[in-house]
Amino acid sequence: MKVKQLKTHEALKLIGKKLPFKKVLIHGEEVYLTQQFVKKVAALHPVERFFPEAIDEFLNFTGSSLFGGSSIPVILYAEELPKTLKKKKERELFLKKLRSLDTFIVAAHCELDYRTLKGELFSQVEQLCDALLTSERLPVNAIYGLLNKKFLQSGKKVSKEVLKLLVELVGTDLTELRHEAEKLINYPGELTPEVVRGLVFPTEKSNAFTLIYPLARGNTKEYLKQLNALLASGNEPLQLIALLQTQARQAVKLALKKQVKLPKEAAKQMALLLKQVGAKRMLLLLKALNEAEFAVKSGRERGELALKKLALGDNFK
């Protein structure tokens, strides 16, 4: 199969009423574009999200979605796959599963270097794809255009001087720029260079993989702090719910003495969490997460609210 190589921002323009590609490997330093691609695909067709830490769930994927019909499997944080699929047999099973699928997306949340792309695993993944998408940083002029459009759509007119200053202060990372632009849009007065300098500051970082710990421990303040930082950084609510479900399932399996593929440090942290909160709490958390997923996918609740209610409600305490 001949692989078409495209920049992600070009591929986004090709997505209309149907998907232009069936089998996609996507990577690149501009993670925001990768997230937008997955989001746009999910708006057209049901998707099922998987993570390298629970690759067995992907291997057992049947193709059916929550509401019946088919769904597109999306493997997120694919850069972690080489750490998970260390044995040759494991890589072969993974590739065999990909070959059996009519459509899939393998998405890395970083740029895969040449050595990794041409390595044993990703070179074979690429051969199975009809598109290799690269999420590159956009040219500065294109970024100015996107920012200006965002401000205008929100009813706020800003000068070119302010746009240049915003990029100068924040950098060209689209996730960071989006977050800072939204703060500026909410400012009631005129956006002068002085105002922008006073309002703009680096976005607080958070790690999606650690969100499970304050949630399970009942540390509401820390959970909401991390959650808000992740949402502000462009993480999709359903993606976060899927990751939390995966981790909760892993904890339950560990409690039942079942085999779970986890990096050594992650396994140690999960075992400590189980010791602190107990298996019953993790089981109740998993139930609450499944209910949250259903509420969001059925349209009964917004994703952000469903995630926040996990900590504020009594549904798994």
Q: What is the value of pTM for the model shown? A: 0.66
- On average, the pLDDT of the chain sits at 87
- Provide the domain limits for residue 306: 208-312
User: Beta-strand (E) ranges in 192-309?
Assistant: none
**CA–CA dist 165, 246 (Å, integer):** 41
253 close to 283: Cβ distance less than 8 angstroms: no
**pLDDT at position 126, please?**
95
**pLDDT at position 265, please?**
73
Is the per-residue pLDDT at 48 higher than 60?
yes
Tell me what the mean pLDDT of segment 136-156 comes to: 90
Percent of the chain with pLDDT over 70: 93
Percent of the chain with pLDDT over 90: 44
**pLDDT at position 313, please?**
58
Is the per-residue pLDDT at 50 higher than 50?
yes
Of the candidates 218, 216, 240, 217, the residue with the CA atom closest to the CA atom of residue 228: 240
Q: Is residue 12 part of a domain?
A: yes
Q: Residue 106: in which H helix or E strand, if any? A: strand 104-107
**pLDDT at position 205, please?**
55
The residue assigned the tokens 């049947």 is: 62
Query: Do 229 and 295 sit in the same domain of this protein?
Result: yes
Is the per-residue pLDDT at 89 higher than 90?
yes
List pLDDT tens digits, range 230-279. 887 777 898 899 889 988 988 888 888 887 766 677 778 888 899 899 98
Tell me what the mean pLDDT of segment 90-94 comes to: 95
Query: Do 239 and 149 sit in the same domain of this protein?
Result: no
The residue assigned the tokens 């959970």 is: 223
List pLDDT tens digits, range 193-207. 888 887 776 445 567
Least confident of 43-47, 58-62, 181-185, 259-263: 259-263
Is the per-residue pLDDT at 143 higher than 50?
yes
175 close to 138: Cβ distance less than 8 angstroms: no
Query: Do 287 and 249 sit in the same domain of this protein?
Result: yes
Q: Residue 315: in which H helix or E strand, if any? A: none
**pLDDT at position 263, please?**
65
162 close to 36: Cβ distance less than 8 angstroms: no
Say which CATH number the domain at 126 has: 3.40.50.300
Domain end position, chosen among 80, 113, 134:
134
Q: Is residue 161 part of a domain?
A: yes
Number of separate domains in the chain? 3
Domain end position, chosen among 199, 227, 249:
199
Tokens of 24: 């996609």
**pLDDT at position 11, please?**
93
